[in-house]
Structure 1
């Protein structure tokens, strides 16, 4: 949130400078006459003076004088088109320019903030409520497990349902409930080596991570059903290692 505010403030300052500096530094600029224009005007004045001298000397009569003067003026208009261009507009007064810059310095950030609140995502700047979302998800999972358990009470012969319930409890570290569900599934699939190994694992976790007793018997049943079951072999190797029978442990592993 703090980093975002710093970056947003810096960007707003840059935008204000880009808008305000041209207003504050503007000055009235007069368009200077080009050298060519000045030269044409000088030539025009010289030629006009010569025409006046010729008229006074009698070389040109009044009609010839007016005709030559008109032609001279026409050439001047053609060669100096800038003479008809409008004068540039005066620059704004300094006080008015300063007032405009100050007004922009207040209105631009306010408008940007209002647009962000209307079109952006202000909520994304707030700390995320991760714990609350996790709590809601956990409640939903618990509700689904409860519905599954209620359905199995009405249909206790659904072996796959008991397996799903057992593994769901085990995933949530509810090893006592998982063991009970595995026992129900084994009543339907008594020779399933994987179920026997999973049941032994959950029961061992429920009794303090100890494979002695009933878990060890379940592992023996699993290996009789499938001597190559990976989980049953791993658990059997752990039992042998705890008994310091390292050769048997290596053989199982």
Structure 2
């Protein structure tokens, strides 16, 4: 922390130097301004210009180019202009070079105070303290998990509104078997971060195992709330698979675990779920090779396609529509393609291995895909200027569900 405050001080020094720079140049600027005002001849120049213009105006009257009325009007205009030009020359007395010098140190102090207060409110001082605690325990010859938990509990008392404190304590309590404290830490984290699906799912899972793998009313309420916000939440789906397996419903366990694997990022957890799927298949008497084929064939994406009403007038009913699934990186050929017509929209299609263009590039090979829908009046597979399209990134590939679909709206024009 000492290094942090030294770094902040080093950053503040240039700012304070810039604030103090006007004090060093105040005397020079004062003398230059005084010299300018003392030798200002703008009034004399304005009078000389007035006299030249008046003489020119009188000469024009004598030559008969203007009459007396026009002469009087123009002369009045010249006199008014002279008054306006000379009026701005009235200046307030020039203040001394030291006037207002006290404001600069006040501003400098205010900058330092505001900077420190802002950092304490918005900065990561608390997180740096947590990192320091972790390093301190790690470097301590007598350091232990119990010591680390004790130090983190001290930080929880000092900074109870820091979510990183509770997100660190929760797994520590869980790993050491302190389930009640783990629940408390997780609930404190939810109170800070909000009731978001990943946290609700972890709370449901924790209470599920505390209830000896039973779906109590409290656990079921958490499950329902989580799935309402995120029907693909893998932690909850994995937990529901365990409950189904314990009750002998192996088909439902396999379905839950497959859906969880399709949306999970941790490879170790995914491997564990696949092992569970394999055991459940053995209980059902399904051969592993046949099960793998069935799983691949059932993987895909259900897509609901619609055309933006504002673009409906730009296409005809017999124009070709290409509905395509591609890998996120764009390294493979199209994984699945369905061809239809505008007159069929809106429509729902299934993109799976049955509509793959090549056995070497199938949608079951990826966990996420990018859906691209394009309207082609020419019917060509290559995009053309004027084609309409819509897309959707990061769509999960998994067991095809009848009651859910990814929505893609054709709402843009290909340039």
TM-score (norm 2): 0.26
Q: Which has the larger radius of gyration?
A: 1
TM-score (norm 1): 0.40
Which of the pair is proportionally richer in strand?
Answer: 2
Which of the pair is proportionally richer in helix?
Answer: 1
Higher relative contact order (CA 8 A, sep 6+): 1
